[in-house]
C-alpha cells in the first residue's frame, strides 16, 4: 500500500496510516513468530477482490444463492489443488480459521460429554484439543497427554497407555509448540487399537509437509485439519482433509453445522497459495525453513540457551529462559523493542503462569520467505543473546536501540514479497 492516493486513504486516512505503519513494521523487523509469514503479492491481491461481495452458502453445484457461475469454479480449484497437493481423498476449504475447523471435527464425530484425547496446552498442544478453558474442554470429557520431563519429547508408550485406559472416541495429534517430528504412524496404531478417529492438526507444519520437509499424516489420520497461513503461506483461513468415508460428515459439520457462507475472497487466496505450494521453488523454501531453524537452534545452544527437547526438527524452537534469569514476557518485550518479534510461551512443566511464562516460542518461516539463510541465523541468535543478557543485567535500554539499528540494516537486504 505505497500509493498515498488510494481509495482507503481518501475514505479513512486513520486506517490507511495504520496499515502503512504496519507495512513498515513488517518490513523492518525480524519476525520470528512461527505462526506468522508473508503471503505473496498474488495471494494478497486475491484476498482483496470483489469476491468479498458474494454470498455462497452451500458447496459447488449445491448453493442456496444464485450467481455462483464463477464462485463454484474458484472453490473447486481450491479443493482440487488441496487434494492433489496433499494426496487426500477429500478437502473442505470453507472453515474460517483453524479453531472452527477443529470444532467442525467435534461436531462430526462426538456428542457432548464423550471423550477426546489431545496434547495438553502447556506441553505444546492447542486450546481446541480439549484444553479446559476452551469449549472443547467444557462440552467434552478431555484427556490430555504430555511430554517426558527428562527429554521434552512425547512418549508413545504413555500415549497408548492413556488411550487404553480412557478409550477416547477422538484423538488429536499435533499442536502449537511442538519442535519435533510428529509420529503419525504411531498415533494411527494407537487409534486403531481402540477404534478411535485420529485427527492430525498440521496447522503449523502444513507447508513443510507440502514441500516434503516433514512426513505426511495422509494414510495414517482419518481427518487432517490445518490453517492455510503459517508455513503454507496462504491467507488467514483453514482446510479439513479427510478420507472419502468421512467426507459427508465433515462437510455437513462445516455447513450448515457451524458456518454460513464461505469467505470467497479467502477461498481464492487459498487456491493461489496451493498452486504456489506445488512448485519446486516452494519445496526449496520448505526445506530452507527447516535448515534455518536448525541453524538458529544450534547458534542459540552455543550461547547457552536451553531449548525444549534439545533442538528442532521443523520450523519451531521453544526456549526455556529460566537459566537466563529472565521471564519469557520480559524477554519478548525487550526483543520486540530491538526489532526481533517473538512470542512468550509456556514450556513443559512451567512453574510460571501462562501470561508471564518462562519461555519464548520462535520460528523461521518469515525470515526464510525473505530469503535469509543459515549463515544469517548466527547473527540473529547473537542479537537475541545480547538483548537477553542485557535484560538480566538491567541495562537492556542501552542495548535495544543499537541492536534495532543493526536489525534494520539486515532487513533492508532481504525485502518481503512486494
Q: pLDDT digit string (tens) for 233-278?
A: 999 999 999 999 999 999 999 999 999 999 999 999 999 999 999 9
**Whole-angstrom distance, CA of residue 307 vs CA of residue 301:** 7
**Whole-angstrom distance, CA of residue 56 vs CA of residue 117:** 34
**Whole-angstrom distance, CA of residue 238 vs CA of residue 236:** 7
Structural domains of the chain, ranges and CATH numbers in brackets = 45-277 (3.40.640.10), 288-411 (3.90.1150.10)
pLDDT (0 to 100) of residue 291: 98
Residues annotated as catalytic are: 55, 57, 201, 227, 230, 236
| Residue 418 in this model has a pLDDT that exceeds 90 | no
Whole-structure pTM value: 0.96
Q: Which residues lie across from 320 on neighbouring strands?
A: 306, 359
Rounded to an integer, the average pLDDT of 133-139 is 95
* Contact assessment for residue 239 and residue 266, using Cβ atoms and an 8 Å cutoff: no
**Whole-angstrom distance, CA of residue 227 vs CA of residue 35:** 10
Range 83-86 contact pairs with CB under 8 angstroms and sequence separation of 24 or more: 83/241, 84/278, 85/210, 85/274, 85/277, 85/278, 86/209, 86/210, 86/216, 86/218, 86/224, 86/241
**Whole-angstrom distance, CA of residue 274 vs CA of residue 268:** 10
* Residue keyed to cell 484476498: 47
pLDDT (0 to 100) of residue 101: 98
**Whole-angstrom distance, CA of residue 302 vs CA of residue 300:** 5
Amino acid at each position: 500500500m505505497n500509493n498515498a492516493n488510494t481509495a482507503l486513504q481518501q475514505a479513512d486516512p486513520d486506517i490507511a496510516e495504520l496499515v502503512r505503519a504496519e507495512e513498515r513494521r513488517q518490513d523492518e523487523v525480524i519476525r520470528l513468530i512461527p505462526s506468522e509469514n508473508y503471503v505473496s503479492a498474488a495471494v494478497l491481491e486475491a484476498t482483496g477482490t470483489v469476491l468479498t461481495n458474494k454470498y455462497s452458502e452451500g458447496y459447488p453445484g449445491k448453493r442456496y444463492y444464485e450467481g455462483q457461475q464463477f464462485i463454484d469454479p474458484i472453490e473447486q480449484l481450491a479443493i482440487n489443488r488441496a487434494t492433489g497437493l496433499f494426496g487426500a481423498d477429500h478437502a473442505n476449504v470453507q472453515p474460517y480459521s483453524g479453531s472452527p475447523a477443529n470444532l467442525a471435527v467435534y461436531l462430526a464425530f462426538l456428542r457432548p460429554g464423550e471423550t477426546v484425547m489431545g496434547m495438553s496446552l502447556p506441553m505444546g498442544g492447542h486450546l481446541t484439543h480439549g484444553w479446559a478453558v476452551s469449549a472443547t474442554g467444557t462440552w467434552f470429557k478431555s484427556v490430555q497427554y504430555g511430554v517426558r520431563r527428562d527429554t521434552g519429547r512425547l512418549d508413545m508408550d504413555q500415549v497408548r497407555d492413556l488411550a487404553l485406559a480412557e478409550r477416547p472416541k477422538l484423538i488429536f495429534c499435533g499442536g502449537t509448540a511442538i519442535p519435533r517430528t510428529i509420529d503419525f504412524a504411531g498415533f494411527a496404531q494407537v487409534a486403531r487399537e481402540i477404534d478411535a478417529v485420529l485427527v492430525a492438526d498440521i496447522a503449523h507444519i502444513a507447508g513443510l509437509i507440502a514441500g516434503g520437509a516433514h512426513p505426511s499424516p495422509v494414510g495414517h489420520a482419518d481427518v487432517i485439519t490445518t490453517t492455510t497461513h503459517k508455513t503454507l503461506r496462504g491467507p488467514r483461513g483453514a482446510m479439513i482433509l479427510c478420507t472419502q468415508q468421512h467426507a459427508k460428515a465433515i462437510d455437513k459439520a462445516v455447513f450448515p453445522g457451524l458456518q454460513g457462507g464461505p469467505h470467497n475472497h479467502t477461498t481464492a487466496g487459498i487456491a493461489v497459495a496451493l498452486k504456489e505450494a506445488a512448485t519446486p521453488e516452494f519445496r526449496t523454501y520448505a526445506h530452507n525453513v527447516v535448515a534455518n531453524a536448525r541453524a538458529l537452534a544450534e547458534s542459540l545452544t552455543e550461547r547457552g540457551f536451553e531449548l525444549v527437547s534439545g533442538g528442532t526438527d521443523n520450523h519451531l524452537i521453544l526456549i526455556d529462559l529460566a537459566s537466563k534469569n529472565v521471564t519469557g514476557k520480559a524477554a519478548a518485550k525487550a526483543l520486540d523493542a530491538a526489532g526481533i518479534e517473538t512470542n512468550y510461551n509456556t514450556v513443559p512443566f512451567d512453574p510460571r503462569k501462562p501470561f508471564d511464562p518462562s519461555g519464548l516460542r520462535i520460528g523461521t518461516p518469515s525470515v526464510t520467505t525473505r530469503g535469509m539463510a543459515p549463515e544469517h541465523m548466527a547473527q540473529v541468535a547473537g542479537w537475541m543473546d545480547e538483548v537477553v543478557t542485557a535484560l538480566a543485567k538491567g541495562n537492556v535500554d542501552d542495548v535495544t536501540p543499537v541492536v534495532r539499528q543493526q536489525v534494520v540494516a539486515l532487513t533492508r537486504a532481504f525485502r518481503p514479497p512486494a
